[in-house]
Structure 1
């Protein structure tokens, strides 16, 4: 059976890694990749399985009406939308007193409101046949992150939204997954931790493989949960810091 998958934030990092990983799935035929950066989208397409029907759309996910029209076009072209992967995100880490209202609003507009909007539009199609939605949050959304207030709290909202939608959409045969990657070598991570060596932390490809497994038939009973994805070394480092401060 032919299935259609939409992936946002697909021009780099985790979004790109997920697109490449899922392109090896036999039952996903059509891919629509969305990002604001055309060059990055083209590079992602070139890395994917060339046997797939791959399209890309340069779009601003915060242009809500335009996104609604785009989803309608995709739904009409392919008949169904079976998978939605929400990866696109924004970060500008600041403390409370340094965070402007504009930046606070942008953080929520990109990280929360755009997921709400595209999910709502996709579900209009998906509820007819069922499907799977996966939202990428962050470990920053489930623990204190001083200096990252807007980013961390917006990711907490993604986790809560995912848990609620998992129950709300179950009657339509729609499963909702949420993953919270830990430290991962992405452009976004460079903004959050500019002095960190990217070779010492988890790579986007690791997350891509986890997502592939989650969305396969083996991922049963894992929806509706906040699934933390991180390297074992990260957990060990946290334990060492805790011991040193005791």
Structure 2
């Protein structure tokens, strides 16, 4: 079976890891990678399994008309769009009084509005045959994150959007998934936690494998849920005093 998969934010981090992992599958033959960075997209393609048909688009997803035209072109040429994976994100962590209206709007334009636009345009094709949509949120969207107001609230919106669409689109045979990665060694994480050692936290490829599993038959009962993906921190055991018996 020939499937077509769109992945946004595919030039690095989690988006790249998902593209690499899914390229190992026999049932997905057509990939469409989207990001603002053309060089990053080319590097992702080099790392994917050879033999796939891969198209890349270096576009700004907040240019909603351009994004719409890309989706329409893909759907028309391939006939169907079977998977949409919304990964692209933005973060500029600041407290309430430090957050400008412009940055608040930019955060929502990228993290929420662009996903709405991509999803709406994709569903116009996907509703004919069914399909799968996966949105990447964050654990920041389900807990209080002082100093990350715009980012955290935008990810909370994605969690609710995914849960709502899971029910709304079920009549078309469309499954909607939402994953919330915890601390993951991405460029975006460096912005959120610049002093953190990236080798001590979850890696993008770990998330890529989880997404691969979710979008297989194994994940058929996991749509509509906010699935937290994180690495448990291994704690060093505290030495206990030894008791001596004389």
**How many angstroms does 1:232 deviate by?**
1.3
Q: Does 1:153 align with 2:160?
A: no
SS at match of 2:233: helix
2:139 alignment partner in structure 1: 139
**How many angstroms does 1:84 deviate by?**
0.1
Calculate the TM-score normalised by the size of structure 2: 0.95
SS at match of 1:177: strand
1:213 alignment partner in structure 2: 213
Return the alpha-carbon distance in structure 2 between the equivalents of residues 186 and 197 of structure 1.
11
1:121 alignment partner in structure 2: 121
Return the alpha-carbon distance in structure 2 between the equivalents of residues 223 and 200 of structure 1.
30
1:16 alignment partner in structure 2: 16
Return the alpha-carbon distance in structure 1 between the equivalents of residues 61 and 120 of structure 2.
13
1:45 alignment partner in structure 2: 45
**How many angstroms does 1:220 deviate by?**
1.3
SS at match of 1:119: helix
Q: CA RMSD in A?
A: 1.0
For residues 212-231 of structure 1, what are the structure 2 equivalents within 5 Å?
212-231=212-231
Higher helix proportion, which one?
Answer: 1
List gaps (5 residues or longer) in structure 1.
238-246
Total equivalences in the alignment: 236
1:244 alignment partner in structure 2: none
1:60 alignment partner in structure 2: 60
Return the alpha-carbon distance in structure 1 between the equivalents of residues 183 and 35 of structure 2.
22
Return the alpha-carbon distance in structure 1 between the equivalents of residues 169 and 76 of structure 2.
22
> Which 4+ runs in 1 deviate beyond 6 A?
none
Calculate the TM-score normalised by the size of structure 1: 0.95
Structure of greater Rg: 2
**1:183-233 alpha-carbon deviations (Å, 9 max, x no partner):** 000000000000000000000000000000000011111000000000011
**1:146-169 alpha-carbon deviations (Å, 9 max, x no partner):** 000000000000000000000000
